[in-house]
Amino acid sequence: MQKYCPSHDNDGTPRCCSCERMEPKDIKYITLDDGRKLCLECLYTSIMDTDECQPVYIDIQEFYEGLNMKVEQQIPLLLVERQGLNEAREVEKMGHHLPETRGLCLSEEQIVRMISRRPILGPGNKMIDISTAPHKLVRRCEVTAILVLYALPRLLTGYILAHEMMHAYLRLKGYRILSPEVEEGICQVLAHLWLESEIVSGSSSSIATTSEAAAVAAEVAVAAEATATPSSTSSSAKKGEKTDFEKKLGEFFKHQIETDPSAIYGDGFRAGIRAVERYGLRGTLDHIKRSGSFPS
């Protein structure tokens, strides 16, 4: 945990866009083209272009398959700039996303500019030479693509991707139109479970699971490692024992989900995780499909 004077909350001191730590006076953070700041620790595992993100996508697909929630359709995953996310959001006419959008599940045909090549670090710790390319989305099913904001560390990228993949799952598996609280809530539950599975799989010591949700995450972590395909070998190598910083980062993201004060994402998650704790993930999903609500 970082200690700082409370006056820095309002004096414009930059924060890392991932871990939210403030920039120290003696260390200069990386400046991204959209003004975001990235600390050096988060930069180490940051994912900068669309190709780099594909191994994480394989991890998420294996995670869902381990939950018996395989998505058969081949959905494009594109890493994009903040402007690209905002433009795609306008086309989709989405109304209940957070002010800072970091991921989208799309259903409309449109042209998206994806990041095609990793930017380089230039003078003054600024990322430069960002290369983008147009990608035309074609509607072959209810989902045309998943977009994720570039330059976030692997754990945050994966958490966002796990959330957006659940949106795709709900659409592709014939779920009714859900209230924002239920849909975003169950998507946050899946993101939380993925983070839990990553923390479990990245630990060198056994972790006692104290809840149904944690037990599910532990089982998925073991199953994913046992069934990893050759194509995901390079990705799995990154899933070895986590550094202390990565473990703390994963716990930080979990804490953010758990304590989110918003009605849609925060209250939705807490209602969803209570249902999973009581009825299991499959029982909760079956109830949502039948009634459109969480079981009480």
* pLDDT of amino acid 95: 58
Q: What is the 3-state secondary structure (H, E, C) of 135-155?
A: EECCCCCCCCEEEEECCEEHH
Give me the residue label for tokens 């969480």.
Answer: 294
Looking at residue 6, its pLDDT comes to: 59
Give the C-alpha separation, 224 to 230, whole Å: 12
pLDDT for 205 equals 45
**CB-CB contact of 51 with 147 (8 Å):** no
Say whether pLDDT at 287 is over 90: yes
In what helix (H) or strand (E) does residue 77 lie, and over which residues does it extend? strand 77-80
Q: Indicate the pLDDT class of residue 145, thresholds 50, 70 and 90.
A: very high
* Rounded mean pLDDT, 91-119: 86
Q: Do residues 294 and 277 touch, judged by C-beta distance below 8 A? A: no
Going by pLDDT thresholds of 50, 70 and 90, the confidence category of residue 93 is: confident
Mean pLDDT of 156-172: 97
207-244 residue pLDDT tens: 444 566 666 666 665 555 555 554 444 344 345 578 99
